[in-house]
Amino acid sequence: MSSIVHVPRVASSLLVKQSPLFASLPEELIQEIARHFHLIKWKKGSYINPDNLMIQFYFLQEGQLEMKRNNPDTGREVTLDMLYPGDSFEIVTLLDGRPHDVILEPITSSIQLISVPMKMMRKWIWTYPELNKQFLPYLAHKMREQEDLASSFVLHDMTTRLSRLILKHIYKSRSYTGKKEDEQKTHLINGFSDETLARMVGSVRQVVNKQLQYWRSQGIINKKRNQIIINDLDAIQKEANILQSDIR
């Protein structure tokens, strides 16, 4: 059941420019494109109607959105992507025009989106070389993320996957705002329950919780509800066995 609320006003060019697909486009083109977008509100605890994903292309403006799949026979779920402001969906449907078997659910209490008809978005990609130039690198980035996700499930154990996940979201969310000299002392990853983290690393809540409790006993992290405070970033980096520059 969808709890999407269409806000009765057109999205401004400033909102449209939040997306990396449009950020560097000429201002006159941004103004033209922005006229076709509409603002949308969506509350946590509800799912979007899959039919909407066939006819509308969405960009996230505020909040966090989880994209996942499940096995109806076992109830197991896995997170395919965690979307942040500026991210778009559904790229797969945009490219092939076919339904995409995914579940989309807000992580934050509510999210704000802007949307444009799918047909319009396809037309823009073919019509405006400036947009096409931005779209292809963004598509490649998303493809690399999915490649990394698939290979990680096969090649790495749960501890390594969890370490890499924490590092990825630390660098992606850029939540640290304190003094430069304290940058390596305290880092935050917020809003993800143990169950959500388990979906993101292809495991179960009990296993993820056990690993987090072990790190806590070693003084590597502190954990307060759905907030993980990293006390020893070097230890997490060692578990991940990866360079910071390799985190995408």
What's the chain's length in residues? 248
- Cα→Cα distances 22→84, 95, 106, 130, Å: 16, 18, 23, 9
> By the 8 A CB rule, do 16 and 37 touch?
yes
Could you tell me the domains of the chain? 4-149 (2.60.120.10), 156-246 (1.10.10.10)
- pLDDT of 185: 43
Kind and range of the H or E element at 201?
A: helix 194-201
Q: 226 with 197: CB under 8 angstroms?
A: no
Handedness of CA 19, 162, 194, 218 (dihedral sign): negative
β-pairing, 56-62 vs 38-43, is: unpaired
Closest CA to 239 of 131, 162, 152: 162
72 to each of 11, 168, 194, 240, how far by Cα in Å? 37, 29, 21, 32
The gap between the terminal CA atoms of the chain, to the nearest Å, is 33
For residue 117, the model assigns a pLDDT of 94
Q: What is the pLDDT along the chain (248 residues), one digit of tens a residue?
A: 455 555 445 567 788 888 888 888 888 888 888 889 988 888 888 777 778 889 999 999 888 888 888 888 888 888 888 888 888 888 889 999 988 888 888 888 888 899 999 999 999 999 999 888 888 888 898 888 888 888 888 889 999 999 988 888 777 655 444 445 444 444 446 678 889 899 989 899 999 999 999 999 999 998 887 788 888 989 999 998 865 545 45
User: How high is the pLDDT of residue 116?
Assistant: 92
